[in-house]
Amino acid sequence: MEQNQDSSLVSHLEALRRALLRSLFILGLGIVPLFLVAPYILDWFCEQIALQGIATLYYFSPMEVFLLQLKVAALLDCVVCSPAIAWNFWQFVLPALYDNERRFIRSIVGLTSFLFIAGVAFALVVCYPLIVRFGMSFASGTLEPIFGVSNLVSLALWLSLAFGCMFQFPLVTYALVRAGIVDYETVCDKRPYVVVGILVLAALLTPPDIVSQLMLGIPTYLLFEMGLLASRRYRKRG
C-alpha cells in the first residue's frame, strides 16, 4: 500500500515536471518573435509617458535598454502564451477529476487567460499612472524627480504580473468550492484571514508603498467576493 502511494506521488511529480517543461517550451517559442516586437512596445510606452507629461526618461548604462526590451518581451510572452499555459496546467489537474469536473475545468481555461489579461490592463491603464503621479507629488523646489527608464518600465512590468496573477482569485475560489476541496461556509467564516492574506500578498507583490498595495489588495478582495457569489449561486443550483 505504501509502495503504491510512493509510486503515485512519483507519477504526479513526473506529470508536474512535464507540465512545467511544456510551459517553458511554449514560452521559449514565443520569446524570439516577441523580442523583435518589444522595441516598438517600449518606444510606444515611453511616448505615452512623455505625452502625459509624467516625466522625462533617462537611461544610465549601455545595456539598460536592451535588458528592458528582454523584460518587455518576457511579459508579452506571458500574456500571449497565457491561454496555452493555462490549458497545459489544467490538463495536469484533469486526471484526478470526475467527468463533470473535467468539463468545468475545460470551460474556465479561457476565463483564466481573460482574467490575467484584464489584470495586466487594469494595472497599466488605471493603477500605474496613479502610482507614478503619486510619486511625483513629492516634488518641490528643492526636490526634482529624475526617472530612469528602467525604474518606470520595471515598475510597470512588475505591477502587470502581480495584477495578472492576483486577478485569478475569483476563479480559484470558485474552483475550490465547486470541486468540494473547501466548503462555502468555511470560506465565508474565514474572511478576516483571507483579507490578511490578500494584504500580505499585495505587500509582497508590489513596491513598498501603501498606495500600490491598496490598489492591488482592494480589487483582489472584491474579486474574491465575486468568486464567493458565483460559488453560492452554483451551490443553490446544486
**Cα dihedral sign for 205, 210, 211, 213?**
positive
Rounded to whole angstroms, the Cα distance separating 200 from 84 reads 29
Helices first, then strands: H and E counts in the chain:
9, 2
Name the strand (E) or helix (H) holding 58. strand 57-58
Other CB atoms within 10 A of residue 98 CB: 9
Which grid coordinates are listed for 202?
499585495
CB proximity list for 228: less than 8 A, separation 6 or greater = 173, 177, 184, 187, 188
Name the strand (E) or helix (H) holding 148. strand 147-148
Rounded to whole angstroms, the Cα distance separating 212 from 133 reads 12
Rounded to whole angstroms, the Cα distance separating 206 from 130 reads 14
Rounded to whole angstroms, the Cα distance separating 81 from 26 reads 7
Rounded to whole angstroms, the Cα distance separating 129 from 135 reads 10
Cα Rg of the chain (Å, integer): 21
Tens of pLDDT along the chain (238 residues) come to 444 545 555 666 777 777 788 888 888 888 888 889 888 888 888 877 776 666 677 888 888 889 889 988 988 888 888 778 777 777 766 665 566 666 666 667 778 778 888 888 888 888 888 888 887 778 787 887 777 888 888 888 888 888 888 888 888 777 777 766 677 787 788 788 888 888 888 888 777 778 778 888 888 888 888 878 877 776 655 5
CB proximity list for 103: less than 8 A, separation 6 or greater = none
